[in-house]
Amino acid sequence: MTRSCAGRSIPRAVFADNFKIPTLWGVKDTAPYFHDNGAKTLRDAAAHYQRFFDFTEAQDPVGSATLGGFITLTDDDVDDIVAYLRLL
């Protein structure tokens, strides 16, 4: 597939082997998580992101308000994420 925009006219297949992206298959069996083993469980890892995205508009590190709004993860959202990751 090619795109007509400048800088995007290279077929995607050219980049297929250039980026190594870790798979999430079997993630439930690979604890602990993060580079420093800071999350002992999937729940700990998901809860990290729940805290990470909990900031005021003045503290917004990535301009979320201009990117479609803030991300708010409820406890139910975290439970759903963990349940999904356990299925992989």
Per-residue pLDDT tens over the stretch 9-35: 666 666 667 767 678 889 999 999 999
Residue 18 within a domain: no
Q: What is the mean pLDDT of the chain?
A: 79
Residue 47 within a domain: yes
Residue 29 within a domain: yes
23 Cβ contact partners less than 8 Å away, ≥ 6 residues apart: none
Specify the pLDDT at position 32: 94
pTM score, whole prediction: 0.63
Q: Which domain holds residue 74?
A: 23-87
Given a contact cutoff of 8 angstroms between Cβ atoms, the answer to whether 49 and 73 are in contact is yes
Is the pLDDT at 50 greater than 70? The verdict is yes
Residue 69 within a domain: yes
Residue 7 within a domain: no
Residue 32 within a domain: yes
Closest listed residue to residue 32, CA positions, set 13, 8, 48:
48
